[in-house]
């Protein structure tokens, strides 16, 4: 009987710390998955916000606000700063029906491009290096003064 007791003690001593090792092995993929969910959630949030900002800027441009390129880029850039701290590229162009100035019925196209927030977590790949590009179009409804195209 004494021999069996010795085997149990030896076995229990040899398995000491196994739960900690198993916990570490399970937690690594769980943590990577968790940070991946947060990273991709931030990216899709930035995509949604970028498309909303592009649509809003196209609607404003369709009624001639703001007419100057610098005012337009400043207004749109302020909206994007909440989604990303990086430099943004904002373009506004007009598809004119005639070679003359912008008229009612033309199309305005607004494109915003910026980088999403990147957590730089290892083992989590990132879509297009976090670059968000969104384009929106709108019909020009009102032309109080000739707007500038921005590139």
Residue 151 lies in a domain: no
Report the distance separating Cα 3 and Cα 13, nearest Å: 16
Residue 105 lies in a domain: yes
Six token digits for residue 137? 């179009």
pLDDT at 133: 95
What residues make up the domain containing 85?
Answer: 2-139
pLDDT at 2: 57
- Is the backbone of residue 17 left (phi > 0), alpha (psi -120 to 50) or beta? left
**What is the domain count for the chain?**
1
Q: What is the DSSP letter of 146?
A: P
Nearest residue to 32 via CA among 116, 117, 118, 121: 121
Residue 149 lies in a domain: no
Q: How many Å separate Cα 105 from the centre of its chain? A: 32
Report the distance separating Cα 2 and Cα 9, nearest Å: 11
pLDDT at 10: 56
45-to-1, 42, 66, 124, 127 alpha-carbon distances in Å: 66, 5, 27, 17, 13
Residues, the chain: 151
Check if the beta carbon of residue 61 is closer than 8 Å to that of residue 109. no
Q: What is the mean pLDDT of each run of 10 residues along the chain (151 residues)?
A: 58 73 91 92 94 96 89 91 83 84 91 91 85 95 86 80
Residue 146 lies in a domain: no
Residue 57 lies in a domain: yes
pLDDT at 64: 87
Name the H helices within the chain: 2-14, 18-62, 69-80
Residue 147 lies in a domain: no
């Amino acid at each position: 009987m004494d021999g069996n007791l010795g085997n149990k003690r030896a076995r229990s001593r040899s398995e000491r710390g196994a739960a900690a090792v198993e916990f570490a092995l399970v937690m690594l993929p769980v943590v990577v998955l968790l940070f991946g969910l947060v990273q991709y959630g931030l990216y899709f949030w930035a995509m949604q916000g970028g498309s909303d900002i592009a649509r809003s800027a196209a609607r404003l441009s369709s009624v001639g606000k703001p007419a100057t390129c610098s005012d337009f880029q400043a207004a749109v850039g302020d909206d994007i700063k909440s989604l990303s701290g990086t430099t943004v590229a904002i373009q506004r162009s007009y598809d004119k029906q005639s070679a003359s100035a912008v008229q009612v019925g033309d199309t305005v196209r607004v494109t915003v491009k910026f980088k999403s927030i990147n957590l730089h977590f290892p083992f989590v790949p990132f879509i297009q290096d976090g670059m968000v590009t969104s384009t929106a179009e709108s019909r020009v409804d009102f032309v109080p003064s000739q707007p500038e195209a921005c590139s």
